[in-house]
Amino acid sequence: MTTQKTTHAPGTFCWPELTSTDQAAVEKFYTGLFGWTMKQSPMGPDAHYTIFLKDDESVAAASQMDKPLQAQGVPSHWLSYVSTASVDQSVEKAKALGGTLVAGPFDVMEHGRMAVLTDPTGATFALWQANQHPGVTRLNEDGTLVWTELMTGDTGKAATFYKGLFDWGTEKFPGEMDYTLLKRGSENAGGMMAITKEMQGVPPHWMVYYGVADVDATVAKAQSLGGSLVMPAWDTPGVGRIAILKDPTGAKFSVIKGDPEQK
């Protein structure tokens, strides 16, 4: 199902943004992998912000990690933004619920207002209050964001935090899989699962998923473009076929071909 958006209801994942140690390399990688085009906006001397486009519609973004962060050993990473009616109010609510403010709140020119936080389990996310820029204008189809998923060491603590912050409900995924759907009313806002003993060393994080027509072909293409495989493709009944990849600078992301039976 194709979805084009000009606004996003509060509590919606609305903008996936890559901060990379090599912006030029990831521009080449993702345009090659997904067929995206780019719009580059100047950000001061010798710097720009990249918006990735599908059919001239915004689907994601990328920027160059600054040198102090690189010096601290911060890896390339995708940051997931959630829409809110008021960044300032959401920040105060997040802090009261045990979250930590990392950056902001601040205005991004005329585009909107944002802040970056970590939840009480250590996963980082961002808030976005749209002004002239709503976030992605195309999603839920091949080559766009289709899902955002929290991996955490404490699903109970995370559920309490996000319910208090965004009024998300929770619902167990049907079947044997230990997986929680995060609900915005009757709609799925995202998903959540526990970091298991087998995943020792994996930090709490939000993972972005991009839809593709063929997971295995996408894996092969990613590897040919300098990416690498984190987890080989597998099938989950009622969900689809999934693989976890790393781009050439180490940022992890997932690709998925939805199960035709998926509701």
| CB distance 161 to 119 below 8 Å | yes
Query: Residue 35 sits in which domain range?
Result: 8-130
In a domain, 1, yes or no: no
* Tokens describing residue 82: 């959630």
In a domain, 92, yes or no: yes
Which of 109, 130, 151 represents a domain boundary (last residue)? 130
Q: The domain spanning residue 45 has which CATH number?
A: 3.10.180.10
Check whether 259 has a pLDDT greater than 90.
no
In a domain, 3, yes or no: no
Span 234-256, average pLDDT: 94
| Whether residue 158 is found in the same domain as residue 231 | yes
Q: What is the pLDDT of residues 170-217, one digit of tens each?
A: 998 877 778 999 999 999 999 999 998 887 788 999 999 999 999 999
| Whether residue 79 is found in the same domain as residue 184 | no
| Whether residue 148 is found in the same domain as residue 238 | yes
| Whether residue 90 is found in the same domain as residue 48 | yes
In a domain, 136, yes or no: no
Check whether 6 has a pLDDT greater than 80.
no
Total domains in the fold of the chain: 2
Which of 130, 164, 179 represents a domain boundary (last residue)? 130
| CB distance 65 to 74 below 8 Å | yes
Omega prior to 248 cis, within 30 of 0: no
Q: Around Cβ 79, how many Cβ atoms within 10 Å?
A: 19
| Whether residue 126 is found in the same domain as residue 158 | no
Which of 104, 130, 156 represents a domain boundary (last residue)? 130
Check whether 261 has a pLDDT greater than 70.
no
In a domain, 2, yes or no: no
